[in-house]
Amino acid sequence: MLRPVREGQAFEATLEQLATAVRLGVLPAGSQLPPERELAARLGVSRVTLREAIATLRDLGMVETRRGRGGGSFITYDWAVHDAGSADLAGVTADLEDVLGFRRVVEPGTAYLAASRALPAADRGWLKECLRDVAEASGRDTAEHRQADSRLHLAIAGLSGSASLVEAVSRSRSVLHQLLAAIPVLARNIEHSNADHAAIVDAILSGEPEDARELAEEHCDKTAALLRGLLAHPTTPAPTQPGGTP
């Protein structure tokens, strides 16, 4: 199940694969993660990136790291507790791939169109202001940051010149907000997100539509990786317990 990750989204993709393997019981409770060197080689990432992903799993209560002889990172994930906490999202996560697929088509398209237009000074200033608001909200109130993040994405949609795309992005962001609210805020991911935003805005302001679209696609892929890895899908079967009881 664990395979080399795509370049450019190493942390998010590594976290997705490890969290999914834990959540689906491929790495069952009580088992130990393979040695760092072996696991990093299998995923095609640096040991630094791997350690950051494992540290995030530790913060989420999915693994614990023991020191000394016989030490290492061990799975502590409780499937029943985690799944019960996701019950309220059943209606949304059931259509997770539909939501993520829709977003990956729509939002990069708005970035492409925005970069294709000759934007007046007022619009350029507005876009820069939205970008600054997201960066300044990082590390502060979570709700404030997510609101600023949504404003930036909607601003890009607005600069595409298409009212239909603004409506589509607004609908997409509404569902995405529910999904993101169900997973922890990860500092490393926020750093990546801010860097992505800056690169996308720079491509738009520089009039580079292909670059803007590609950067937006990669940005969407990183968010999708986190959601796939950290959200328990309602259709996921419970691991079988001793005696055959699900």
Q: Which CATH architecture has domain 87-231?
A: Up-down Bundle (1.20)
Q: What is the pTM of this model?
A: 0.80
* CA dist., res. 28 & res. 21, Å (int): 8
| pLDDT over threshold 60, residue 246 | no
| pLDDT over threshold 90, residue 63 | yes
Q: How much is the mean pLDDT over the chain?
A: 85
**DSSP H helix total and E strand total for the chain:** 11, 2
Q: What's the pLDDT score for residue 155?
A: 95
Q: What's the pLDDT score for residue 36?
A: 92
Who wins on pLDDT, 37 or 185?
Answer: 37
Q: What's the pLDDT score for residue 90?
A: 58
- The CATH number that domain 10-77 falls under is 1.10.10.10
- DSSP character for 87? G
Q: Kindly state the average pLDDT of the residues 168-178.
A: 88
Backbone angles phi, psi at 133, to 5 degrees: -65, -40
| pLDDT over threshold 90, residue 127 | yes
Q: Kindly state the average pLDDT of the residues 205-220.
A: 97
Place of tokens 């970035």: 111
Q: What's the pLDDT score for residue 205?
A: 98
Q: What's the pLDDT score for residue 43?
A: 94
Q: What's the pLDDT score for residue 82?
A: 54
- Which residues on adjacent β-strands are paired with residue 32? 74
Q: Are residues 172 and 107 in contact, defined by beta-carbon separation less than 8 angstroms?
A: yes
Q: How confident is the model at residue 33 (pLDDT cuts 50, 70, 90)?
A: very high
| HEC string for 14-27 | HHHHHHHHHHCCCC
Q: Which range, 17-31, 58-72, 123-137, has the best average confidence (pLDDT)?
A: 123-137
> Hey, where are the domains in the chain?
10-77, 87-231
Q: What's the pLDDT score for residue 81?
A: 52
Distances (CA, A) of 36 to 3, 51, 186: 15, 8, 22
Q: Kindly state the average pLDDT of the residues 182-186.
A: 83
Q: Kindly state the average pLDDT of the residues 84-104.
A: 72
| pLDDT over threshold 50, residue 234 | no
Q: Kindly state the average pLDDT of the residues 196-204.
A: 98
Q: What's the pLDDT score for residue 140?
A: 74
| pLDDT over threshold 70, residue 89 | no
| pLDDT over threshold 80, residue 130 | yes
Q: What's the pLDDT score for residue 143?
A: 79
